[in-house]
Structures are given as C-alpha cells and as structure tokens.
Structure 1
Amino acid sequence: MTLQRVEVGLVSADAALVEFFAAVFELERLPAVRSGSGVVHRLEAPGTRIKVMVPSRRPASAEPAEPFFHLTGVRYLTMYVDDLDGIIERGVARGGRVRHGPMDVGPGVRVAVLQDPDGNAIEVVDGAP
C-alpha cells in the first residue's frame, strides 16, 4: 500500500470559513458534496485539499487554545506560500487575526501564525525550500 493523498477537514457552523480559505489562500472551489449530515465544501491548490464540513445541525463552537500548542491533538495547519504579506493582509481583512509574527526563522524564510475566523491556527511559511 502507498499513501495517495491526505486531505484536511475542518468543521464550521456556516460557509464563511470556505470564503476565508478560498480568498486568503486563493484556493480553487470544487463542487460541494451534500449528504444527510450536511455539506462538505472542497477547496484545492496543487498538493493541497481542504474540506470544510458544514453540518445540517449547527455544531458547538470549540474554544481555541491560547497559545494553540497548549493542548494535544491536531491544532494547526501549515501552508507554504510565496506571499506572506499578501496572505496576512487578506486574512486580516476577512476576519482572521495574526497570533505570532511575521518573523524571520532562517535565511529568506519568514513565518506567521494566523487564526481564522473560527479560531483555527494556520502557520504560514514563506521562502522555505
């Protein structure tokens, strides 16, 4: 067996998170998949697929950890980009918050941690080989 793909799934109360990821990271929207449980919105770019599940019944909101690494489990996504400043600008304009950075972490490599409108932590890395 060989792993063929990994997809990341987020759960949100509505499609606003879909709009955030599509606009901030310039992801292509794929057709949504509807089921009795709700709607799965799919977004992709080369090497990346993010799914946002919007259940039929509104889910309870989780309290984000502060800082995000104070709880175990899946706590953040890492997105490799070539325009960190543009990502930050678009993210903040669409309800996100800069939690850390941007900061230089090596020659030509910059990192920031954004929090999306639902409270998810997104590590954004620019300039990594």
Structure 2
Amino acid sequence: MGLQRVEIGLVSADEALVEFFAHVFGLERLPAVKSGSGVVHRLQAPGTVIKVMVPSAPPSVTEPPESFLSATGLRYLTMYVTDLDGTLERVTARGGRLRHGPMDVGPGVRVAVVQDPDGNTVEVVGGAPQPDTDRR
C-alpha cells in the first residue's frame, strides 16, 4: 500500500476561482464533473491537481483569519513557479491580493504570500531547485 496522489479541494460560490487558478498558474482545465451536490472543476499541471467544487446551493462565505498562521488546520497552498514577478502580476490582475513579499529566502529563491479572490492563502515560490525525486 502506498500513496498514489494527493488532490487539493477548494469550495467556491462560482467558477471565478477556477478561472483565477487556470490563468494565474497556467493550469490545464480538465472536464468538469457534475453531481447532485454541484460541479467539480479539476485543474492540473505536472504533479498537481487542484479541485474547485461549486456546490448547487451556494455556500456561505467565511472570513479567513487575518493571518494564515493565526488558526489551525489547512491554511495555505504552496505553488512553485518559474516566473514569480509575472505570477504576482497575474494574481492582482485577476482579483487576488499580495499579502507579503516578495522576499529573498535563499540564494536565488524568492517567496510571496497572496490571497486568491475567495481569500485562500497561497505561498508562491520562485527560483527553488527541483526536488530530488530519486531519493526514497
């Protein structure tokens, strides 16, 4: 037995969040899956799948904590990008907000913390080396 894949799921009131992630991070939209409870939109890139569930009955909007570090639980996604500055431009152009940074965290590595239009926190990392996938 072993883990095959992890998919991250977000819940949103409409498809705007789907468009945000597709445009900002260049994710490929997969065919939507409709069910009695709503529509699941899947977006993918190598090694990544993000699902956005748009329920049939619109969910109530909850206010995110002021800082993602001020509450327990799943609080942020980390997205590794090849063009941090371009990504941050797309974040703000598509209704997201820059919360922190960008800041240097190591040789050639920069990090920024943004919020998507629904208020979800996303850590965006540019210039990080590729992980060594041969180690086990």
Query: Size of the alignment, in residue pairs?
Result: 129
Unaligned runs of 5+ in 1: none
Question: In the alignment, what sits opposite 1:68?
Answer: 68
- CA separation in 1, counterparts of 2:18 and 2:106? 32
How is 1:1-129 mapped onto 2 (pairs within 5 angstroms)?
Answer: 1-129=1-129
Runs of 4 or more consecutive aligned structure 1 residues displaced over 2 Å after TM superposition: none
TM value normalised by structure 1: 0.99
* Structure number having the greater strand percentage: 1
Deviations, residues 85-129 of structure 1 (Å, cap 9, x unaligned)? 011000100000000000000000000001000000000001111
Q: Indicate the RMSD between aligned Cα atoms, in angstroms.
A: 0.4
SS of aligned partner of 2:61: coil
- CA separation in 1, counterparts of 2:127 and 2:85? 12
- CA separation in 2, counterparts of 1:17 and 1:66? 20
SS of aligned partner of 2:31: strand
How far is the alpha carbon of 1:68 from its aligned partner?
1.0
How far is the alpha carbon of 1:62 from its aligned partner?
1.3
